[in-house]
Amino acid sequence: MEDRDFNLMENSKNLILIFLLCISLSLVITAVSASDSTVAQNNFVYTSNSIGNSYVVKSTSGNIIYFIDTAKNAVTWTYNINRYIGSIAISPDGRYVAVGCGGGLIYVFDQQGNVILKQQFGNALIQSISFSKNNNEVDASNIFNQAFYFNINGNLGVRPASPAVTAIPSATISSIPTTSTFAQGAQPVASAPSTGAPAGMSPQSVPAPAPPPPTAVNTFSGILFWIGVVVVIAVMVLLVARQRGGRQDPLI
C-alpha cells in the first residue's frame, strides 16, 4: 500500500512538471509569434518631418501611425487606421498630422493623438497630402488628380495661386551659353532634389523605410519569451534530477 501511494505521488509530481514544461513551451511559441507579427506590421512606408525635425510622423505597412518626439527620443502616441494609407504629412510646427487613406478618407490628428477630423473627400485613394505654411490648411489630391484644399475643421477653401513666373527676355536667353564652362579644377555643383511640394506648402510625405522603434508589444513579447525559456530550463533540470536521485517508477 505504501509503495503504491509512493508511486502515485511520484507520478503526480512528474505529471505536474511535464504540464509546466508544456505551458512554458507555449509561452515561448506565443512570444515568438507575437514578435514576428509586430515586426511585420512595423515596416515603415511613409514619413514626414516638422521644421527642424522636432517631430516626426511615420506610417507602417500595417496602417499604424507613429508620432515621434525627437527631443525625447520617444514615440508619444500611435494610432491604427485600419485602412490603406496613401500619404501622410505633419504641419511645419508639428501641431497637426494629416493622413490620406483609401476611399478618399482623410484623418487629422492633434499633437496628442486626438482625432480632430475624419472626413471623406472624393472616393479615391489620397496619394498626396501636405500642410500650408500657417499650419492650418491641408492640400490633398487623389489618384485621379482631384484636389482638395481645406482647413483642419474640414471646411473647403480656395487654394492660393502659385507665384507668377517672370518671363525672361529673348535677348537674355540668347546670351546664355548652350554649354556650361567651369574654371580649371572646378567641379559642377549638384542641385538638391525637389520635394515635390506645391508652392507655399510644406514638403509632402515621402517613402523612408526605417527600423521600427521599440513598442510595448515588443517588450512584452521579449519578457514572455525569456520567462518561458527560464521555466523550460528549470523544469528540465528538475526532471533530470528526479531521474538520477531516489526511486523512480514509470509514469504509467
Whole-angstrom CA distances from 19 to 10, 13, 146 are: 14, 10, 62
Say yes or no: 198 and 89 in one domain: yes
Say yes or no: 198 and 111 in one domain: yes
Q: What is the pLDDT of residue 8?
A: 58
Say yes or no: 35 and 122 in one domain: no
Q: What is the pLDDT of residue 226?
A: 76
Say yes or no: 76 and 120 in one domain: yes
Q: What is the pLDDT of residue 116?
A: 97
pTM score of the predicted model? 0.53
Say yes or no: 240 and 142 in one domain: no
Exposed/middle/buried for 207, CB within 10 Å: 0-12, 13-18, 19+?
Answer: exposed
The whole domain housing 219 covers 1-42+215-252
What average pLDDT values come out for the chain (252 residues) when binned by 10 residues?
Answer: 59 69 67 49 86 95 95 95 96 97 97 96 96 96 96 90 62 47 39 38 41 53 75 77 60 45
Say yes or no: 30 and 119 in one domain: no
Say yes or no: 147 and 76 in one domain: yes
What's the domain count of the chain? 2
Q: What is the pLDDT of residue 187?
A: 40
Q: What is the pLDDT of residue 159?
A: 85
